[in-house]
């Protein structure tokens, strides 16, 4: 059973129309710029928002393992002692402490999804499963996809496609659309920045395109990582070589928003101090132009 | 002792930032100049109307029956008041001697010397007046009206029970300083001139049966008064025509001289006759508007109703004949828009004048909607109006788009693009629902379709109904008084009946029943005085000019205030559904169900304004089901309260053969109501605003706009005469074209679920700074950036700073 770390209603950036997005916890990749680092681990994690903490010590008092201390820097948790029982989260009056990752049943998730049908119906929207990597939880994902299919709900899966081809195929047969990130064409660099090589991803992209699946490609555009001309050119070459009807991609200019979440996880953002910067206007334009050469329309944002 | 009543400022008033540049590129030079003048004109008080009226009353009071006295008084004002025709103007006529000069209405309430000084010097909503005028007022006006004003009549009558509740802020009373208004017109003035109406009146007079109809004499007096009112308005227009001709003779610019002669021609034709073209149609309405706001100071000034539908035939005829271009039509309409902006609301008296008030006089232009035959009402004129709203960006008139299932998406999208500008308007209404609301109240299908909203969100049958707002009901305060066993905890005074100490209540039901008992008592007190006030206006201040335009006043020979209209509704506006629901939810959940806290603990914390109880307050704020989250428990409580408000108010007879109905608007009264209250069990601190309209409490909705909409749609909105939903959006949610389309879908979704109204406040950086200071009031602020979304509150201050910077730079 996958842990769910967020459910977002009125999701307007995760596919067509107005959607509800279900965030499944756990990801085989660990991109240094990740916006949702709490989605990487498959386990529950405690999040702490210092700003919200009023120092009432309710959590310190209730913790059966004495894992928490109130310091000048807020609540510090000794992760060696913490058994993630969640008692501190239950008593925290301000939600400064939150548990990322909840076990929801498929029935419960369906009831949440169905709450949004009025909006999906009007806007040709639907449900989006993202993460983390939803394909890591293919049993639960497939059950949810089938149930949504029975309800005539449009299904999008936001994925790295870093999964076994059989799983990709089965998911493909049970969803209307994929959102796929293309992070780097060079497998070595992909491993450096994302923790895994990229061959499997690229071959899966090829596979779903040959199978005629509908998908959107999104490229996080990061100066210092993947915005160089060579990588963009190779990306464009690759995307123009596959049989793909959309011929349209979204470029997501880099932003260090992930920092905010790392603070809550009390983990360090970009521990290897990899040089990353938002792409300049020129780089954005150059990228758009290169894709155009290959007959692909690139749109900033999305 | 009167309380401060911050009554009717729309959201747009607070969003109105003159510094924010309007989109000037679409305006021609004339409109740019007129708009600039309008911006720069400072509201002032004119004592001219009071002087003419006082002189007239001194001379004539007692000589005529009241309706005729009122009509002659109106005639005298139209005959003697200063006429103003400004440079560049195409639509002419002012209520005062110059733009933004506002007359007083001493027959209703007479400003004291102190009031005038306060108005002249206060920081907000200042109305300037010279010392010389104050002296004249003190000498000529004030002594005569002492003991004779409508307000003194009313306060001389009100029972002690009412006064206690009123002073504690359990409700406000609209008609203690202003006349009942809330009027919008149908299309008849575009087909009927005042001469035609005079003929109709003569016909009714000749039919009077003095042998068998006991009311025949009363009807005769009213009809004669209506006829005199026609003469007054025709004379008023005539004086403008004469002045324009005179100005043309000395005008050096030949082009302007031609315009002035044309203005003279228009003013000689309307309102005496039905208009023949676009220009005359707008001027026709404007004279009727001016007459109405000169005769009395009715709430919500005056509304043209479905103005685009009324003007469409003139527009199409002009275009077809080649006598009008689209640009000219837009210019005339822009002139009209600026005219309305030049007419601030008449200022109030007493402490009210010191601390509250708004310049907005609540003319609300309905755009789109359906026609009386049920077909879609959108035309090219509707689109021109949207362009004007976007380009002019002025406080008045307010505007609303009306989106039925038949309205084309193109129009909705055009409206959403204006909404995205962040001016706070147009607001969005659902005719498919309000037509049902009106029919439930007893209107015919056709009359209901011709209806719409005026002022804020209240609906009525345009041209056929007096639908009067009588004042706001402070529902959370009723709960506060219940929890204090009849006492007002703010003053310690016993202000209501005693329904028991809640610490002794055994279950939630006992608490809820006590609340209901208090509610019924408070509403009864309000209704009793409302009915009295209604009769005072019928007897002493009939509106014989306004009565001309509302069916069936002429046919019945009865005044607008005295059963003349075909339909007569009295609304009580209930404020604070969210605060009440959430407070009850806190007690239900934590005291009676989970039993984690005793009633005593919570009430003591509330009494101390949560002084040393921040932990408890945070627990309440974060661990209680609140309204606006598509949460079954909280929403069913809201539905129950809403239904009980309906059952308490709806169907009580008023004095005009009509009934009281429920309304759910708040305008800015939730700010005033919050000020007269201590803390509430939902964690709201003393003095802070209560929730507005039917919106969730500030910051209590944390699941996005679709969840809010789901919660609101559980209320059977057809039972009310209007609900109100304000949604806050960050500009980042509306950045791309497709986001605008999604906003349109959100609106359609709400309306398909039975929503009456929704309004979007696109937040500016000021709001975000406020959110940093008071995060608990802004938990709903959702930030969406490419590939990322979060609540503003959950971001660290660096990121918040960046969002603020982006918001400041964001322009569309």
Confidence (pLDDT) at B24? 53
User: For chain A, what percent of residues have pLDDT higher than 70?
Assistant: 100
Taking the C-alpha atoms of residue B734 and residue A10, their distance in angstroms, rounded to an integer, is 12
Q: Spell out the alpha helix ranges (H) of B441-549.
A: 445-449, 475-483, 508-540
Distances (CA, A) of B749 to B179, B421, B713: 38, 22, 10
Give CA B722 to chain center in angstroms: 12
Q: What's residue B754's pLDDT?
A: 97
Distance CA B580, CA B586 (A): 10
Q: How far is A295 from chain B (nearest CA, A)?
A: 23
Looking at the complex, does the CB of residue B413 fall below 8 Å from at least one CB of chain A?
A: no
Residue B422 resides in a domain: no
The model's pLDDT over B640-698, given as tens digits with 9 standing for 90+, comes to 999 999 999 999 999 999 999 999 998 878 888 999 999 999 999 999 999 999 999 98
Tell me the CA distances in angstroms from B217 to B39, B210, B212, B562, one per residue in order.
49, 7, 11, 15
Does the complex come out with an ipTM higher than 0.90? yes
Q: Chain B interface, mutation test: which of A7, A54, A122, most B Cβ atoms within 10 Å? A: A122
Query: Is B458 an active-site residue?
Result: yes
B608/chain A closest Cα distance in angstroms: 19
**Is the Cβ pair A93, B619 closer than 8 Å?**
yes
The residue from B94, B204, B458, B613 that is catalytic is B458
Q: Count up the domains in chain B and report the number.
A: 1
Catalytic residue among B456, B563, B574, B669: B456
For chain B (812 residues), the mean pLDDT of every run of 10, in chain order, is 34 36 69 94 96 98 98 98 97 97 96 93 88 98 97 93 96 88 93 98 98 97 98 98 98 97 98 98 98 93 95 98 97 97 87 62 94 97 96 90 98 95 88 98 97 92 95 96 98 98 98 98 97 95 98 98 97 97 98 97 98 96 97 98 98 96 90 94 95 91 94 98 90 86 97 96 83 83 65 79 70 38
On whether residue B173 sits in a domain, the answer given is: yes
B434 class by beta-carbon count within 10 Å (0-12 exposed, 13-18 middle, 19+ buried): buried
pLDDT tens-digit readout, A91-119: 999 999 999 999 999 999 999 999 999 99
Q: Is B58 on the interface with A (CB under 8 A)?
A: no
Residues paired with residue B46 on neighbouring β-strands, in sequence order: B103
In chain A, what residues touch B738 (CB-CB under 8 Å)?
A: 12
Give domain status of residue B743, yes or no: no
In sequence order, the 6+-apart residues with CB closer than 8 A to the CB of B774 are: none
Burial B635-647 (b: 16+ CB within 10 A, else e): bebbbebbeebbe
Among chain B residues, CA nearest to A130 = B787
Q: Does the reported pTM lie above 0.95?
A: no
Q: What part of B 620-639 touches A (C-beta under 8 Å)? A: 622-623, 630
Q: Which of A9, A13, A121 sits opposite B787 (nearest CB)?
A: A13
Report chain B residues whose CB lies below 8 A from the CB of A123: 741-742, 745-746, 749
| Cis peptide leading into residue A132 (ω within 30°) | yes
Position B108 in a domain? no
For residue B653, say if its preceding peptide bond is cis, omega within 30 degrees of 0. Answer: no
Which three-class secondary structure state does DSSP give residue B342?
coil
B167 flagged as catalytic: no
A116 and B619 within 8 Å at the Cβ level: the answer is no
CB-based contact A170:A43 (threshold 8 Å): no
A73 has pLDDT over 70 = yes
Rounded alpha-carbon distances, angstroms, from residue B159 to B155, B156, B389, B639: 9, 9, 46, 33
Question: Helix count (H) and strand count (E) of chain B?
Answer: 32, 14
Cβ neighbours of B775 in A, within 8 Å: 51-52
Please give the Cα distance from B639 to B712 (Å, whole number): 9
Contact A122 B748 (CB under 8 A): yes
Residue B712: closest CA among B626, B779, B648, B638? B638
Q: pLDDT tens, B794-809?
A: 777 777 887 777 666 5
Report CA Rg, chain B.
26
Instruction: Show me where the domains of chain A are located.
Output: 4-42+102-300, 45-99
Report CB contact under 8 Å: B618, A54: yes
- Is B334 in contact with B342 (CB distance < 8 Å)? no
Long-range contacts of B607-616 (CB under 8 A, 24+ apart): B607/B489, B607/B678, B607/B679, B609/B678, B609/B679, B609/B685, B609/B686, B610/B679, B610/B683, B610/B685, B614/A54, B614/A56, B615/A54, B615/A56, B615/A58, B615/A93, B616/A93
Cβ separation A255–B785 shorter than 8 A: yes
**Rounded to whole angstroms, how far apart are CA atoms B365 and B307?**
7
How far apart are alpha carbons B233 and B478 in whole angstroms?
46
Question: Domain A4-42+102-300 adopts which CATH fold?
Answer: TIM Barrel (3.20.20)
Measured between CA atoms, how close is A182 to chain B, in angstroms? Answer: 14
At residue B812, the pLDDT reads 36
List phi, psi (to 5°) of B746. -60, -45
Of the candidate ranges A167-171, A247-251, B781-785, B797-801, the one whose mean pLDDT is the lowest: B781-785
Query: CA gyration radius for chain A?
Result: 20
The C-alpha atoms of residue B370 and residue B368 are separated, in whole angstroms, by 7
**Tally of CB atoms within 10 A around A90:** 13
What secondary structure does DSSP assign to B175-223, as a single string? GGTS-----B--SGGGT--HHHHHHHHHHHHHH--TTT-TTHHHHHHHH
B-chain residues within 8 Å CB-CB of A255?
785, 788
Q: Select the residue of A58, A94, A119 nearest B749 (Cβ to Cβ).
A: A119
First to last CA, chain A: 31
Other C-beta atoms lying within 10 Å of the C-beta of residue B430? 27
B623·A35 Cβ contact <8 A: no
- Distance (Å, whole) CA A258 – CA A277: 13
- Which residue range forms the structural domain that includes residue B578? 157-182+465-700
User: In angstroms, rounded to a whole number, what is the distance separating the alpha carbons of residues B668 and B686?
Assistant: 17
CA distance B393 to B24: 9
* Residue B782 with chain A: CB contacts under 8 Å: 10
Query: For residue A275, how many other CB atoms are within 10 A of its CB?
Result: 10
Do the Cβ atoms of B784 and A12 come within 8 Å? yes
Mutate to test the interface with B, among A34, A119, A260, A299 (most CBs of B within 10 A): A119
Helix ranges, B397-507 (H): 409-420, 431-440, 445-449, 475-483
Q: Do A252 and B790 touch (CB under 8 A)?
A: no
Domain A45-99, CATH: 3.30.70.20
């Amino acid at each position: 059973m996958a842990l769910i770390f967020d459910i977002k209603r009125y999701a307007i950036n995760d596919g067509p129309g107005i959607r509800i997005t279900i965030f499944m916890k756990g990801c085989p990749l660990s991109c240094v710029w990740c916006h949702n680092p709490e989605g990487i681990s498959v386990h529950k994690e405690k999040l702490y928002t210092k700003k919200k903490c009023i120092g009432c010590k309710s959590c310190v008092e209730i913790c059966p393992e004495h894992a928490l201390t109130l310091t000048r820097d807020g609540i510090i948790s000794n992760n060696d002692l913490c058994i993630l029982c969640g008692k501190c989260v239950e008593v925290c009056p301000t939600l400064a402490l939150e548990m990322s990752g909840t076990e929801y049943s498929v029935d419960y998730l369906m009831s949440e999804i169905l709450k949004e049908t009025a909006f999906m119906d009007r806007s040709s929207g639907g449900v989006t499963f993202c993460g983390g990597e939803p394909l890591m939880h293919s049993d639960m994902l497939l059950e949810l996809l089938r149930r949504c299919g029975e309800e005539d709900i449009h299904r999008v899966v936001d994925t790295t496609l870093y999964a076994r081809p059989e799983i990709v195929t089965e998911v493909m047969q049970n969803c209307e659309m994929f959102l796929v990130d293309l992070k780097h064409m060079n497998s070595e660099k992909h491993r450096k920045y994302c923790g895994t090589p990229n061959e499997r991803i690229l071959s899966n992209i090829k596979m779903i395109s040959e199978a005629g699946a509908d998908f959107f490609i999104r490229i996080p555009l990061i100066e210092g990582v993947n915005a160089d001309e060579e990588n963009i050119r190779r990306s464009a070459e690759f995307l123009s070589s596959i049989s793909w009807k959309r011929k349209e991609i979204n470029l997501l200019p880099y932003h260090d928003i992930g920092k905010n979440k790392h603070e809550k996880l009390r983990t360090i953002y970009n521990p290897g101090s990899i040089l990353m910067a938002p792409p300049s206007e020129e780089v954005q334009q150059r990228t758009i132009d290169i894709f155009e050469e290959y007959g692909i329309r690139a749109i900033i944002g999305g | 002792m009167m309380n401060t009543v911050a009554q009717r400022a729309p959201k747009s008033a607070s969003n109105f930032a003159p510094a924010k540049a309007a989109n000037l590129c679409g305006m021609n030079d004339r409109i740019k100049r007129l708009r600039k003048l309008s911006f720069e004109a400072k509201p002032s008080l004119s004592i001219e109307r009071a002087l003419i009226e006082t002189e007239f009353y001194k001379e004539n009071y007692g000589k005529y029956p009241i309706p005729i006295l009122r009509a002659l008084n109106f005639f005298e004002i139209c005959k003697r008041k200063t006429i103003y025709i400004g440079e560049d103007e195409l639509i002419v006529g002012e209520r005062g001697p110059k733009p933004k000069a506002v007359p007083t209405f001493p027959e209703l309430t007479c400003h004291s010397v102190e009031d005038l000084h306060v108005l002249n010097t206060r920081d907000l909503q200042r109305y300037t007046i010279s010392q010389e005028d104050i002296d004249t007022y003190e000498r000529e006006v004030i002594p005569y009206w002492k003991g004779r004003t409508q307000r003194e009549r009313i306060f001389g009558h009100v029972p002690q029970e009412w006064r206690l509740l009123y002073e504690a802020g359990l409700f406000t009373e609209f008609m203690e300083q202003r006349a009942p208004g809330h009027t919008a017109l149908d299309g008849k003035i575009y087909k009927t001139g005042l001469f035609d109406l005079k003929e109709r009146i003569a016909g009714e007079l000749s039919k009077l049966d003095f042998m068998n109809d006991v009311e025949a004499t009363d009807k005769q007096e009213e009809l004669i008064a209506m006829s005199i009112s026609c003469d007054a308005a025709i004379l008023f227009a005539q004086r403008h025509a004469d002045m324009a001709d005179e100005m043309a003779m000395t005008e050096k610019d030949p082009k302007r001289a031609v315009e002035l002669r044309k203005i003279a021609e228009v003013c000689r034709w309307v309102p005496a006759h039905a208009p023949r073209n676009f220009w005359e149609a707008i001027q026709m309405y404007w004279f009727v508007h001016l007459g109405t706001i000169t005769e009395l100071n009715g709430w919500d000034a005056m509304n043209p109703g479905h103005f685009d539908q009324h003007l469409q035939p003139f527009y199409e005829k002009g275009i077809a004949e080649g006598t009008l271009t689209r640009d000219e039509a837009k210019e005339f309409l822009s002139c009209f828009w600026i005219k309305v902006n030049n007419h601030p609301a008449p200022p109030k008296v007493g402490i009210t004048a010191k601390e509250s008030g708004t310049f907005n006089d609540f003319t609300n232009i309905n755009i789109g909607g359906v026609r009386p035959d049920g077909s879609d009402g959108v035309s090219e004129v509707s689109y021109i109006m949207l362009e004007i709203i976007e380009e002019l960006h002025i406080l008045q008139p307010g505007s609303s788009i009306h989106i039925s299932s038949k309205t084309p998406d193109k129009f909705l999208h055009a409206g959403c693009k204006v909404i995205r500008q962040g001016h706070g308007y147009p607001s969005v209404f659902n005719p498919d629902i309000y037509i049902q609301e009106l029919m439930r109240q007893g209107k015919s299908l056709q009359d209901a379709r011709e209806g719409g909203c005026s002022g804020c969100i209240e609906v009525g049958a345009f041209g056929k109904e007096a639908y009067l707002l009588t004042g706001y009901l402070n529902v959370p305060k009723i709960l506060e008084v219940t929890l204090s066993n009849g006492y007002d905890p703010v003053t310690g005074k016993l202000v209501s009946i005693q329904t028991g100490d809640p610490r002794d209540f055994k279950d939630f039901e006992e608490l809820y029943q006590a609340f209901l008992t208090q509610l019924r008592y408070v509403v009864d007190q309000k209704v009793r005085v409302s009915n009295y006030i209604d009769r005072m206006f019928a007897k002493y201040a009939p509106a014989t000019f306004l009565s001309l335009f509302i069916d069936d006043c002429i046919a019945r020979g009865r005044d607008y205030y005295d059963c003349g209209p075909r339909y007569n509704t009295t609304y009580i506006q209930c404020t604070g559904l969210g605060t009440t629901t959430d407070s009850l939810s806190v007690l239900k959940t934590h005291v009676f169900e989970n039993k984690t806290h005793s009633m005593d603990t919570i009430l003591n914390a509330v009494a101390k304004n949560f002084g040393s109880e921040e932990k408890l307050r945070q627990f309440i704020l974060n661990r209680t089901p609140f309204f606006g989250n598509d949460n079954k428990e909280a929403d069913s409580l809201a539905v129950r309260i809403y239904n009980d408000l309906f059952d308490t108010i709806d169907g009580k007879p008023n004095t005009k053969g009509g009934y009281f109905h429920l309304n759910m608007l708040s305008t800015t009264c939730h700010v005033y109501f919050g000020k007269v209250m201590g803390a509430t069990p939902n964690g709201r601190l003393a003095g802070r605003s209560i929730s507005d309209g039917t919106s969730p409490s500030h910051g209590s909705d944390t699941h996005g706009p679709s969840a809010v909409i789901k919660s609101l749609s559980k209320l059977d909105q057809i039972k009310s005469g209007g609900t109100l939903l304000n949604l806050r959006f960050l500009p980042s949610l509306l950045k791309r074209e497709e986001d605008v389309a999604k906003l349109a879908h959100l609106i359609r979704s709400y309306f398909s679920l039975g929503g009456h109204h929704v309004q979007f406040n696109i937040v500016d950086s000021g709001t975000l700074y406020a959110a940093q200071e008071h995060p608990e009031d802004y938990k709903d602020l959702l930030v969406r950036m490419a590939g990322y979304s979060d609540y503003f509150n959950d971001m660290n201050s660096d990121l918040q700073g960046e969002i603020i910077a982006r918001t400041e730079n964001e322009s569309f």
